[in-house]
Structure 1
């Protein structure tokens, strides 16, 4: 898996933030990338001239999108990054609609795509990475159902791995849980909200989180994970500015 040339990777949610960094890093590593997003995304050409990025505009949460794009592009790898930005407010100020928004997007996307990947199935040796959140471990009291939704993404990914093994499919599923980062719109919004809640400045709040996780660091981590032997891949990873840490 060290040579990614000719191994198409679909990145779902590639228009901005960590997804954009993942798509860019994969192309720089030589992979043909299909960047899926609801809005038009722009990418610079890979500097090594080997990889490529093709943009597909689609709603990843639509039940028909996963099957259609998998059939169209026949990918070797799939990375799921897309999701909603939760409303940041205390529990009593949420409505059910705002509380459950990430269940209706993030969890829905993971369910539809992993289901279609198992039904198709992808080619032997395929890698499927679902981007969850560090909130699945630590909680997120201002973001409604976000932490529970991200934990469910991790559970669903584990269920998919079990089903792949039961069906003797040579497909590796794993989830990656990035720590909050001011490098994304979601992270900046959350950091502001929690800083106010804790009577801190945003800079003070972020200082306690350690090295900043950037889209570039995220992209390089995903490239390295795809290049890792399947037998060495953990069921889940925490991702910080310092890199990947396996989770049991």
Structure 2
């Protein structure tokens, strides 16, 4: 698994933030990368390795799109990072539409990709990594249904692993829960909102977060997971600037 040059990797949500860092890292490690996003994105040529990035502008929550992308590219690695930016307001200032946005986006995308990975199925030895959030563990009172949606992503990824094991598919599914980081657009908006809620400056709030997670570090962490022996990969990991930590 150390050689990624022949393993097509689909990164869903690759236009920005952690997804962009992950797509770039896989290409630089030599993998052929299919970068899926709603908006057209230009990626630089990888500085190292033989990999390249093919951009696919598509709705990753459309089940027909999911089936088409898997059929055409036959990936051996799928990384799901896409999701909606939550409406940063307390509960009473949410509408049902803003509250449920991450259920209709993040959970929907995960459901369709996990389902298709099992139905197709992906080739034996394939890996699927689903990005949830540290909010699934700690909650997120300023982001409506975000924390619950992220917890559900973790649940259904575990369900997918159970179904793959029952069918003898030899596919590895795992969830990564990144901690809030102001080094992405989503994390920056969240840090600003929580700092204001706590009557602190944004700098003070960020300082207490500890080592900050960058998109480049996220890319290195996912490569580490994909290259590891499948038997050693845990069902879930917390991801911070200090690296991956197995969840019990």
TM-score tier by shorter-chain length is over 0.9
Distance 2:2 2:32 in 1: 14
For residues 111 and 30 of structure 2, the distance between their equivalents in structure 1, rounded to whole angstroms, comes to 29
- Poorly superposed stretches of 4+, deviation over 2 Å: none
Please state if 1:11 is matched with 2:11. yes
1:111 is paired with a residue whose SS is: helix
Cα-to-partner distance string for 1:118-154 (whole Å, 9 max, x where unaligned): 0000000000000000000000000000000000000
Distance 2:88 2:247 in 1: 27
Select between 57-66 and 81-90 the one with higher mean Cα deviation: 57-66
Whole-angstrom CA distance in 2 between matches of 1:77 and 1:89: 36
Alpha-carbon distance between aligned partners in 2 of 1:49 and 1:140, rounded to the nearest angstrom: 39
Residue 229 (structure 2) aligns with:
229
Q: Contact 2:29 / 2:49 at 8 angstroms: preserved in 1?
A: no
The whole-number CA distance in structure 2 between the counterparts of 1:194 and 1:210 is 16
Pair 1:126-2:126 in alignment: yes
TM superposition shift of 1:204: 0.3
Structure 2 partner of 1:167: 167
2: CA distance, partners of 1:153 / 1:227: 23
TM-superposed CA distance for 1:63, in Å, is 1.9
**What is the CA–CA distance in structure 2 between the aligned matches of 1:220 and 1:57, rounded to whole Å?**
24
Tell me the secondary structure at the aligned position of residue 191 of structure 2: helix
Q: How many residues matched? A: 248
Aligned residue for 2:175, secondary structure, equals strand
Q: In the aligned structure 2, how far is the partner of 1:40 from the partner of 1:141?
A: 32
- Residue 49 (structure 1) shift: 4.3
Task: Identify the residue that residue 240 of structure 2 maps to in structure 1.
Answer: 240
TM-score (normalizing by structure 2): 0.99
Task: Give the Cα separation in 1 of the matches to 2:82 and 2:36.
Answer: 9
Per the alignment, residue 153 of structure 2 pairs with 153
Paired with 2:29 and 2:133, the residues of 1 have a C-alpha distance of: 25
Alignment of structure 1 residues 79-94 onto 2, 5 Å = 79-94=79-94
- Please report the RMSD computed on the Cα atoms of aligned residues, expressed in angstroms: 0.6
Q: Which runs of 5+ in 2 are unaligned?
A: none
- Aligned equivalent of 1:206: 206
1:188 is the counterpart of 2:213: no
Match of 1:197 in 2: 197
Mapped to 1, the partners of 2:193 and 2:88 lie a distance apart of 7
Residues of 1 paired with 2:140 and 2:42: CA distance? Answer: 31
Counterpart secondary structure, 1:148: helix
Structure 1 segments unaligned to the other structure (5+ residues)? none
Partner of 1:67: 67
